[in-house]
């Protein structure tokens, strides 16, 4: 049994068989977060890219839990300099971990840390997504991305039980493209992410799920702090 807990934005926690992992922890800076960072217990933290709304709490969470961060080489190196345990990988690469397996997929977006005080932007490697095998399930977290044709290949190569797809538009694909992505990926269950956190990405998650249902795709728009089991 796999437990999925949505922490808002793109932050997702997956727990199965005594293992728990977190993807893109953005809790302390999220006005909609319903869980305190100190209450989250994980062994691994997966980061799709280097933007602040995906890595803000990664180091603090890693140090508090003695957890290991998995990210692109550049981002892993940067966070390692801050004291976190890290494993650097890259697009197309896979990694066997105690809970199962992780493979990094491509995403069409950008990835950098913006240092406002120094007026500098530091490149953090290519953005990505993850195929995660945990608890007997295969999970696809698309990260921040626009729609791209190789999502069809992801669906052909992997039997996806659950997909987390961004629907916010403006910075990622919007609901219409995300419906197409859901069809191409062929997931049994879809949860929308990366929406409603800020004004530019306000969307109706329930309306998105209703369109999925018209295409015989199951899904749910989880509220921050809400969990579901598959």
Task: List pLDDT tens digits, range 19-60.
Answer: 999 999 999 999 999 999 999 999 999 999 999 999 999 999
Please tell me the predicted confidence (pLDDT) of residue 123.
95
Which ranges of 34-190 would DSSP assign to H, the alpha helix? 52-55, 58-65, 73-80, 151-157, 175-185
Q: How many CB atoms lie within 10 A of CB 117?
A: 5
Please tell me the predicted confidence (pLDDT) of residue 196.
96
* Cα 64 from Cα 10, distance rounded (Å): 21
Please tell me the predicted confidence (pLDDT) of residue 201.
98
Residue ranges of domains in the chain, CATH in brackets: 3-220 (3.60.15.10)
Beta strands 44-46 and 19-23, pairing class = parallel
77-97 exposure pattern, b = at least 16 Cβ within 10 A, e = fewer: ebbbeeebebbbbeeeeebeb
Q: For residue 149, which of 175, 173, 119 has the smallest C-alpha distance?
A: 173
Q: Which helix (H) or strand (E) holds 126?
A: none
196 secondary structure, DSSP code:
S
Please tell me the predicted confidence (pLDDT) of residue 125.
95
Max CA separation in the chain (angstroms): 50
* Cα 230 from Cα 136, distance rounded (Å): 10
What tokens were used for 112?
């950098």
Write down the pTM of the prediction: 0.98
Please tell me the predicted confidence (pLDDT) of residue 212.
98
DSSP 3-state of 34: coil
Instruction: Give me the sign of the Cα torsion angle 173, 174, 180, 186.
Output: positive
Helices (H) and strands (E) in the chain, counts: 6, 16
Residues of the chain with pLDDT below 50 are none
Question: Tokens 């609901």 sit at which residue?
Answer: 175
Please tell me the predicted confidence (pLDDT) of residue 181.
98
């Amino acid at each position: 049994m796999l437990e999925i807990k949505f922490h808002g934005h793109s932050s997702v926690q997956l727990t199965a068989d005594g293992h728990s992992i977190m993807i893109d922890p953005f809790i302390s800076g999220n006005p909609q977060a319903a869980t305190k960072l100190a209450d989250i217990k994980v062994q691994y933290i997966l980061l799709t890219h280097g933007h602040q709304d995906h890595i803000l709490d990664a180091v603090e969470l890693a140090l508090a839990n003695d957890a290991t961060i998995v990210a692109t080489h550049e981002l892993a190196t940067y966070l390692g300099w801050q004291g976190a345990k890290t494993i650097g990988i890259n697009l197309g690469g896979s990694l066997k971990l105690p809970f199962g397996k992780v493979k990094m997929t491509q995403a069409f977006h950008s990835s950098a840390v913006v240092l406002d005080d120094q007026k500098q932007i530091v490149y953090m490697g290519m953005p990505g997504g993850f195929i995660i095998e945990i608890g007997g399930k295969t999970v696809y977290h698309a990260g921040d991305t626009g729609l791209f044709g190789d999502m069809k290949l992801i669906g052909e190569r992997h039997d996806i039980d659950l997909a987390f797809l961004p629907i916010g538009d403006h910075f990622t694909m919007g609901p219409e493209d995300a419906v197409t992505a859901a069809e191409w990926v062929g997931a049994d269950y879809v949860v929308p992410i990366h929406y409603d956190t800020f004004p530019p990405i306000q969307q109706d998650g329930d309306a998105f799920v209703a369109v999925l249902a018209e295409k015989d795709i199951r899904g749910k728009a989880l509220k921050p702090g809400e969990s579901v089991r598959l």
